[in-house]
Structure 1
Amino acid sequence: MTLLPVDEALKAILARVPAVTPETTPLTDALGRVLTSALIATHDQPPFNASAMDGYAMRAADVVEGHALRVIGMSQAGTAFDGTVSAGEAVRIFTGAPLPSGADTVIMQEEAQRDSDFVRFTAPARLGHSIRPKGNDFATGQALLEPGTLLTPMHIAVAAAANHAELTVARRPRIGLVATGNELVVPGTPLGPDQIVGSNSFALAALLKPYAETITDHGIIGDDIDLLRTRLAEAFASEPDVLITTGGASVGEHDLVQDVLKDLGVSLDFWRINMRPGKPLMFGMRGKTLVFGLPGNPVSALVTAIVFIKPALRAWLGYAEPPHWHLPLAAPTPPNTARRHFMRAQLVHSTSGPTLLPIAQTDSGHTSSLSKADMLITQPEHDSGQGAGAIVEALSIDAF
């Protein structure tokens, strides 16, 4: 059977992703969410000309060496001076306070000498100095954040400054996880002679948590067709937006997941991809649910999730395609086969900049090597191998 190229598989998956659904969330819950509409400033910031220093406000033309100005009042943040600065006058002012009417500059207090109700200055006045003009940060009607922005603490700061208590963001999908295999036990279980610890659901939950409204782990299901049918039907009954199975995705006698998914009404788009690790990847739909059947080997499961599921979830949220890095190699790569290779690599920071150090281990069950990796080098099909210093394409493992 012909293996589906990676790019065609990803294109088919993205074609099944539904349109972004907006919802409103309080600003306090907006971190890590994705905007669906532009954030527009509804006022000027600052809303008035404001002092950038503690000092004195006056008319610059009135500051003459050896000449004192009479201090007629004070302007504080939240309590403006109620009056006008005229010739020969100054107002004590504090950082963030409104600039009094008539004043056109501020001299900081370190350059002032106060004597009762009069003040002299040790530095010349500069017109407009130490003043934050009205609208200097942003102006009414200005677009501060664009749709598709992943909200960081700095974005939350500007949204709050713009007086937005709520933001319109993309609804996140509900994700279900199912692990299959007679040999699997949950972490913390004493191991029998034929058992291994199941890590896939824990790793996938951690990897996909930033994208999900909820992640429900439906546990481990043994290789029994009736049990699989019952438990997978229960998983579908919880109406996930995305259901991800691991294990049983190949064609061996105990690889039952594909047949059960079909019996339960899943229409499969494909199930074999021209890549390594991760060839036996299934994808299809059941109603509105996206269904991914990942390989059981831990590295294969996580690599296919990074390459296919993360881009699908980003599209679900209206976020941009994951960035493809182009970085030099710190060491050579070996020749590749006919399948695209997603090679584990460490991001090494050298004096000349970041480089990629390939990890030689290629076993699809070798989780410790994946734990040392920061990036996946995308090695093309039939690549002859690249030397140290060559620029190669890579995907970040941990980036949103």
Structure 2
Amino acid sequence: MLPVADALRLIRDALRPVPAEVVSLDQAWGRVLATDVEARLTHPPVAVSAMDGYAVRAADVATVPATLLVVGAAAAGQGIARALGPGEAVRILTGAPVPDGADAIVIQEDAELEGNHVTFRVAPKLGRFIRPAGLDFKMGDRLLKTGQALGARDVALCAAMNVPWLTVRRRPRVAVLATGSELRMPGEPLDGSRIVNSNSFLVASAVRALGGEPIALGIAADEEASLRAAFEAAAGADLLITLGGASVGDRDLVRPVLEQEGGTVIFQNLAMRPGKPTLFGRLGPLPVLGLPGNPVSVGVSAVVFLKPMLAALAGLDGAFDQEETTLLGRDLPGNDGRQDYLRSTLALDASGNRVATPYPQQDSAMLRLLAAADCLVIRPPHAPPAHAGEPVPILRFDTAGPAV
């Protein structure tokens, strides 16, 4: 059986980012940049006031109290037409252009206006409360990089940079195919031999959460013709996910039909639990990930494989770097030759440390615990017994992108 780390390397080497497209800024959240983004202006474009108050020449108020003549007012986007002369001040609001000749701002709380004269009680330092031109960024500055997922702050930065359109990777299209003559859709009549298809909904929801577009191919019966027709319907997708039928039983037809259609299998069967009967291959240019029919195995594989695959197709930097380290919440026995993924809760202890506590039951038929879990604790093959408080690697279940 192939180690999981080797499987991930083979998958990574086989994937290429999807083509790019141009989107408007209001559609850019969560997308991955296909080009660097440069500022199209300088911000601020001129020196501006950081506070409401008065623009002055610092030399005129070096000794206080000092009284100056108010010769105008400046607001955001609207300055005064002339330079400030000796003994003069300008009423100024936050964000307003600083008049030529002014080199400090006195806040309004430290000034007393009477008629067209203002008296200052505090001597400002040179440059006080003035934001110089280009303080934030300058035209041509490259502030966002290729391979970066755009969060809310990044989108705001693009807007401030005067960039209305962005070149991003197209959302990966993922065809989702459940296999099994015994499967029925939720709400359909069932008898004792039928099983509700939950896997398609799990994978399609995960694809959406990960920034992709699921393509529902429905359920293929355990017949070569049915599976062959479904494979043909996946044309145009960027990834095909099959659910069930990837093992080596008489009714496991994914591999035989894939090879009959000219596809290739890169690996099958992994040293992992749950999820051993996992297949990866190609159908022409289309990558194919064959997952087991067990819903818990599918949920685990969605984190272990599908999450980095979608990120890689979207061109996201560090797509396969998703492990974190936290503390273990309870003792665990030594492991055998398969890499274990233990459904676990994640919480903070009294010292503020993150602690992952595996559920006592890890039966792969228990979908309820999969839904309740926060993360997977990873137990490498042949790992010795582990004790509470020791560091352990985890994979989070959350699929949130760059929310803010």
Q: Deviations over 1:286-339 (max 9, x none)?
A: 111011110000111121232122222222222113332111112222321110
- Preserved CA contact (<8 Å) 1:172 1:211: no
Aligned to 1:185: 184
> What TM-score do you get using the length of structure 2 for normalisation?
0.94
- Preserved CA contact (<8 Å) 1:4 1:273: yes
CA distance in 1, matches of 2:89, 2:114: 13
Counterpart of 2:25 (choices 24, 27, 42) is: 27
CA distance in 2, matches of 1:356, 1:131: 49
CA distance in 2, matches of 1:336, 1:212: 35
AA in 2 matched with 1:264? E
How far did 1:385 drift? Answer: 2.2
Equivalent runs, 1:116-155 vs 2, <5 Å: 116-155=115-154
Aligned to 2:391: 391
Aligned to 2:109: 110
Aligned to 1:97: 96
CA distance in 2, matches of 1:80, 1:338: 73
How far did 1:141 drift? Answer: 2.7
Aligned partner of residue 81 in structure 1, secondary structure: coil
Aligned to 1:255: 252
Aligned to 2:371: 371
Aligned partner of residue 113 in structure 2, secondary structure: strand
CA distance in 1, matches of 2:398, 2:355: 17
CA distance in 1, matches of 2:272, 2:212: 30
- Preserved CA contact (<8 Å) 1:336 1:382: yes
How far did 1:194 drift? Answer: 2.3
Aligned to 2:313: 316
Aligned to 1:219: 218
Aligned to 1:58: 56
How far did 1:149 drift? Answer: 1.0
More moved, 92-101 vs 371-380: 371-380
Residue 77, structure 1, aligned to residue 83, structure 2: no
Residue 266, structure 1, aligned to residue 230, structure 2: no
CA distance in 1, matches of 2:126, 2:187: 71
Counterpart of 1:277 (choices 260, 265, 274) is: 274
Aligned to 1:45: 43
AA in 2 matched with 1:380? P
How far did 1:349 drift? Answer: 1.6
AA in 1 matched with 2:257? V
More moved, 313-322 vs 276-285: 313-322
- Preserved CA contact (<8 Å) 1:244 1:293: yes
Residue 355, structure 1, aligned to residue 355, structure 2: yes
AA in 1 matched with 2:60? D
CA distance in 2, matches of 1:71, 1:216: 67
Aligned partner of residue 6 in structure 2, secondary structure: helix
Q: Deviations over 1:48-82 (max 9, x none)?
A: 11111111111112123232111100111111111
CA distance in 2, matches of 1:272, 1:158: 46
Q: 1:187 to 1:121 in 2, by over 3 A?
A: farther
AA in 2 matched with 1:290? P
More moved, 332-341 vs 91-100: 332-341
Q: 1:56 to 1:121 in 2, by over 3 A?
A: same
- Preserved CA contact (<8 Å) 2:30 2:211: no
- Preserved CA contact (<8 Å) 1:174 1:212: no
CA distance in 1, matches of 2:10, 2:59: 70
Aligned partner of residue 227 in structure 2, secondary structure: helix
Aligned partner of residue 76 in structure 2, secondary structure: coil
> Any gaps of 5 or more consecutive residues in structure 1?
none
AA in 1 matched with 2:158? A
How far did 1:196 drift? Answer: 2.4
Residue 230, structure 1, aligned to residue 213, structure 2: no
CA distance in 2, matches of 1:306, 1:323: 9
CA distance in 2, matches of 1:339, 1:65: 79
More moved, 283-292 vs 62-71: 62-71
CA distance in 1, matches of 2:225, 2:284: 22
- The structure with higher relative contact order (CA 8 Å, sep 6+) is 2
Aligned partner of residue 66 in structure 2, secondary structure: coil
> Any gaps of 5 or more consecutive residues in structure 2?
none
Q: 1:88 to 1:197 in 2, by over 3 A?
A: same
CA distance in 2, matches of 1:388, 1:32: 37
CA distance in 2, matches of 1:184, 1:123: 80
> What TM-score do you get using the length of structure 1 for normalisation?
0.94
How far did 1:258 drift? Answer: 2.0
CA distance in 2, matches of 1:97, 1:104: 14
Aligned to 1:330: 329
CA distance in 2, matches of 1:223, 1:18: 31
- Preserved CA contact (<8 Å) 2:246 2:252: yes
Q: 1:271 to 1:393 in 2, by over 3 A?
A: same
CA distance in 1, matches of 2:336, 2:173: 37
CA distance in 2, matches of 1:101, 1:231: 71
CA distance in 1, matches of 2:18, 2:228: 31
CA distance in 2, matches of 1:18, 1:287: 14
How far did 1:215 drift? Answer: 1.3
More moved, 274-283 vs 185-194: 185-194
Aligned partner of residue 68 in structure 1, secondary structure: strand
Counterpart of 2:284 (choices 258, 280, 287) is: 287
CA distance in 1, matches of 2:236, 2:254: 19
AA in 2 matched with 1:289? L
How far did 1:187 drift? Answer: 2.0
Aligned to 2:14: 16
